[in-house]
Amino acid sequence: MGQYEQNNIFEDFIKDPSPLSRSVVELAISQKQKYDSLFPPRGFFNQVKLRLRYQEEYLRIHAFTRGYDRALPAERDTIQRIDRAWERLTVLFDFIALNNTFLIYAFFAEKHKTNPIITKEDERLLAFKRLFHGEITRQSFNESFGHYAFNAYELSARRFSEYPEQELLEIARFLSDFKTQKATSLYDFIDSKSKNLFAAYSSLREELKYLSLLVIRDLRFSFLELAAEKNIQNIFEMSYDDIKRNNDHRSFHR
Amino acid sequence: MMTLKGITITGHFTAEDMIDYQTMGNISEFAGSPCVIVRSLDPDFSIILHKVKLIITEQGSPLAHLALIALEYGKTIIRLNQTLGPVPPRGKLAITGDAKHVEIKIL
């Protein structure tokens, strides 16, 4: 048991979360807790069940990432838009928690922990390199990875699309000589029916991160919009419940 | 001379006679050293991962985002068995022992 308990996959989730981002942390933890009983498995039958699930779930997770609708929620009301985004984040965090469970399993079960797949993380690093060398435009970078940030899940953290040109190029400079030998797509790897699933779950983790950060960006921008609408100073210092209460109160007195 | 003890949590253990190191709290402090000493495995450090050979960290699991990427890129991460204490911001260090019992001498 001990070796598993040391592997807290959420330890690096958000550094010093703002009061508003604490709701994001709470959501992630509650989704993770749903799968805590799966791993490590207790008893022979649970071990077999987990193994069988391990060999299947990556297909369902992959299908989810491929079919995910990235379009923004259409609601006009900002609070409703935030609520819809929050629902999406709940679903995505559920998949992340499930995927993390099987990634931990893969880490202990698979002998070879190599990953030939070009993950979203590799694509992000390559995008920085290409931006630095002028091979892609700023707009193209923003469309692909502008929703990422340092301390990426922190709602108050500026997204890369918000950075001034020079500041972003300073970051891109670190990647000017970045190289990767990887050449396999996630789709091709999954299609190849490889028995070593460490690479699949590891890459799916990055796919899910990519999608969940789109929602975090939408949430950030919606909260900033709400702050402007309601003249709220530093909305990230409020909790989500306080914001909703504040909104209900103002609506009542309107 | 300060001696620290740790364990290899990612990649392969390699003894080092004398390797340049630097401590790092955030990305802007990175000065190109092949070995960085950090408090935790901050996922933001992934953008400098290709430039380093070795990360020494006070905290972190082999399943942290940075550790998984380090694994993919063949980098080594050593986690200390103790708190870091006052370490000069830059210098040289030597590494001896084996994967499970790493001894780091700050020279």
ipTM field: 0.90
Give yes or no for a contact between B55 and B21, defined as CB atoms under 8 angstroms apart: no
DSSP conformational letter for B83: -
What are the structural domains of chain B?
2-106 (3.50.30.10)
* DSSP states along A224-246: HHHHHHHT-S-GGGS-HHHHHHH
Sign for the pseudo-dihedral over CA of B55, B60, B61, B65: negative
Taking the mean position of all CA atoms in its chain, how far away is CA A116?
Answer: 21
The model's pTM is: 0.92
pLDDT digits (tens, 9 = 90+) for A178-230: 999 899 999 999 999 888 899 999 999 999 999 999 999 999 999 999 999 99
pLDDT digits (tens, 9 = 90+) for A81-91: 999 999 999 99
Asked if A7 lies within 8 A of B30 by C-beta distance, the reply is: no
Taking the mean position of all CA atoms in its chain, how far away is CA A151?
Answer: 11
Instruction: With beta carbons under 8 A apart, name residues in chain A contacting B30.
Output: 174
Facing residue for B42 by CB, picked from A12, A179, A202: A12
HEC per residue, A162-201:
HCCHHHHHHHHHCCCCCCCCCCECHHHHHHCCCCCCHHHH
Facing residue for B63 by CB, picked from A107, A150, A175: A107
Give yes or no for a contact between A155 and A18, defined as CB atoms under 8 angstroms apart: yes
Q: At what angle do helices A78-109 and A198-230 cross, to 10 degrees?
A: 160
Asked if B61 lies within 8 A of A11 by C-beta distance, the reply is: yes
Taking the mean position of all CA atoms in its chain, how far away is CA B42?
Answer: 12
Alpha helix (H) residue ranges in B15-58: none
Q: What is the pLDDT of residue B41?
A: 93
CA distance B60 to chain A (A): 8
Give yes or no for a contact between A31 and A99, defined as CB atoms under 8 angstroms apart: no
pLDDT digits (tens, 9 = 90+) for A32-88: 999 988 888 888 998 999 999 999 999 999 999 999 988 877 778 999 999 999 999
* Cβ within 8 Å of residue B28, ≥6 positions away: none
